[in-house]
Structure 1
Amino acid sequence: MSGRGKGRARGPGIRGREGLWGWLFMAPALVILGLFMVIPILLALWVSFRSWSGLESPFGPGSQPVGLDNYAELLVEPGLAQRDFARGLRNNLYYVLGVVPVQTAIAFFLALVLHQKVLRARGFFRSAFYFPSITSSVAVALVFMAIFQPNGVLNRTLEFFGLDGSVWLDDPRGLVHIVLGWFGVSEAPGFLQGRFMGLSWWDWLSGPSVTLTAIMAIAVWTTIGTFMLMFLAGLQNLPRDVDEAAVVDGANRWQLFWRITLPQMRPTLFLVLTLGIIGTWQVFDQIFVISDGGPQKTSLTPAYLVYVFGFETRQMGLACAVAFLLFLVIVLFTLLQRRLLRER
């Protein structure tokens, strides 16, 4: 052959009529996405730089440009909006750290159990574990709310065993503060007197309140079924010959799980963690039904703060600014866990 050789063969491209027909077939979906997703997102971004009550047209005289004032009011300027946004971030961070690892671990464990062929009635258990995921979140929240009422099931059970009940949903203290109070620590130490975004470090490290912990339990109970099915689908797609070869080489069950199964489940694990992080940072309905952000704003979240600013105080610009800051937080957490789960 000559030194030049032949050029690489090019794959079939989409040109001419094929490309035109492809765009024509995609046009209805693109138009729908543009009308109901892209345009509203761009409009919300534009509103975040304005002062608008939401009662008139955003293009009318009632909508005034304010530049970065909305973002500065949330992040820089001392005031109620900054303190509420800081509380929302604190509460939601505890919510994410409490819900995502627990729901992922339980869902993975249930998937491993149901993946065993020796287990009888696997279809029944799959349906039973998945049932809470298709139940209305509002209905579940009302049931849990009844459980934690002063005369609810939980307090009645404690009284039956001779224990004192509690006003669970009215206690504004965080779990960390409650535990420290058992040891006589009721005030912030000197090194926790500093402030960040309007809150003291003692408040940042308070831990989730009893109300927020109850909402976290609801989230775990209602989401493990969906993630269990995702893990189960991933386990069923794993090649059996790799496990069989590892068993022949003398691998025990723990080594088989840690060295063979878990690395192959990394894509599914990434999907579950990503969906879990996005869902927990967008929690709203349980907060709205159970606590309305209380007690003393210990269950306030950024998603609920969007509702408060937008529909209660009529500050649509501030609400949109919170929404886009929340979007940046979700992207940051997603990129972080993607880096932690990357191939090595």
Structure 2
Amino acid sequence: MAGTTIPARRGRFRGSTAMRDNLAGWLFVAPVVIILGLFMLLPILMALWVSLTDWNGQGSPFRSGVPFVGTGNYTRLFTEDGLARQDFMTSIRNNIYYVAIVVPAQTVLALGLAVIVNSRMLKGKTFFRAAFFFPSVTSSVAISVVFLFIFANSGAVTSLLGVFGIDGPDWFSDSRGILHLLLGAVGLVDPSAPPAALTSGGPFGLSWWEWLSGPSVAMTTIIMLVVWTTSGTFMLMFLAALQDIPVTLEEASMLDGAGRWQRFRYVTLPMLKPTLFLVLTLGLISTWQVFDQIYVMSQGKPSKTTLTPAFLSYQTAFRSFDYGSGTAISFVLFMIIVVMTLIQRWIMRERNGGSRPRRHAHTPAHASAHASARTSARTGRS
């Protein structure tokens, strides 16, 4: 009897202990779960419902009199001919060019600044770190206003170009696309009379000539502002990763006769891949959500060449009082960001050779040996 009773009591005691531990864990995380549910999950679900209705902002969107349109707000953005689809596709085109230029430019600039600041030969590192990072902590609205004065018709940039005999454009009033201007400068096409084959048709209500316009002069000015203001933050990320690389790796590659470029390409860059993925992901998300600079500097003008999905969502909902369509645009933008991030993650994983586990630990000694072997092979080939 004793031999059967004691194990049973021990089992009940262990079960009750585990139950108390689970209950205590849920009690500790309950405030966070409740707060996230009330202020994050619930508003998302409410916004999803609004995107399925034709709510005009008056009264509650959950009352019985609000028209339910289902996926009508989404189909107008992709399939139905009209101003809604044209504006949305124009904003997508503008944002695609914005992302394609800003993300690589700010990543390369941030990495270059981090390498410079991390150099042992540089004096006054604290000053340069603060100088490079200062635009990132300054108000985006304040910097945007300053840029409006700098790139005005009588601003510093136009005056400086005038010294060299260059007649600068009306930066924030020029809707011409950069690609159109470049093709016209080399004499391939006439921007005022584009080829009929490019203007006769195109996907989603825009002609191929409009899709291939490139960013406008006004959007290019905003791009220069954003690259300058965001590179400082990513510079700190790269700088932290550079300082975390073991010194033995660089020493081993130097003993093998690797040059500065070879050390950077075959030793430093592979060690920066996790940080590079983080920087690219954050840059991709932030560039698809650009709003502040557009709101302050252009309001989507001229000729909607600086219109972005985020600003279009705000304009549709809070100015045209079409909250259903405005919310639908925001959800489409959310899906675009998720898909682009997943694609980027897949590409980075494929370049890293998959996620297969390694047999050996990544100690500095092993890493130094692998780096030495790689740089020896590279220098031997060269």
TM above 0.5, one fold? yes
Corresponding letter in the other structure for 1:191: A
* Residue number in structure 2 paired with 1:286: 293
Instruction: Return 174-183 or 306-315, whichever deviates more.
Output: 174-183
Deviation at 1:36, TM superposition (A): 1.3
* Residue number in structure 2 paired with 1:31: 34
In the TM superposition, 1:1-344 aligns within 5 A as 15-182=18-185, 183=187, 185-186=190-191, 187-192=193-198, 193-342=200-349, 343-344=352-353
Map Cα deviations across residues 133-165 of structure 1 (whole Å, 9 max, x no partner): 000000100011111222222222233444334
CA distance in 2, matches of 1:270, 1:15: 40
CA distance in 2, matches of 1:254, 1:79: 53
* Residue number in structure 1 paired with 2:372: none
Map Cα deviations across residues 32-51 of structure 1 (whole Å, 9 max, x no partner): 21111111111111211111
CA distance in 2, matches of 1:140, 1:234: 29
Instruction: Return 192-201 or 321-330, whichever deviates more.
Output: 192-201
- % identical aligned pairs: 52
Deviation at 1:294, TM superposition (A): 0.5
Deviation at 1:68, TM superposition (A): 0.9
CA distance in 2, matches of 1:265, 1:18: 40
SS at match of 1:171: coil
TM-score by length of 2: 0.84
CA distance in 1, matches of 2:197, 2:266: 44
Deviation at 1:234, TM superposition (A): 0.9
CA distance in 2, matches of 1:15, 1:191: 72
SS at match of 2:62: coil
Corresponding letter in the other structure for 1:200: S
Larger Rg: 2
TM-score by length of 1: 0.92
CA distance in 2, matches of 1:82, 1:264: 44
SS at match of 1:64: coil
Corresponding letter in the other structure for 2:246: P
Q: Which runs of 5+ in 1 are unaligned?
A: 1-12
**How large is the Cα RMSD of the aligned pairs?**
1.6
Corresponding letter in the other structure for 2:277: F
CA distance in 2, matches of 1:115, 1:163: 38
CA distance in 2, matches of 1:62, 1:219: 44
Q: Which runs of 5+ in 2 are unaligned?
A: 1-14, 354-382
CA distance in 1, matches of 2:184, 2:160: 25
SS at match of 1:157: helix
CA distance in 1, matches of 2:58, 2:154: 42
Deviation at 1:62, TM superposition (A): 4.3
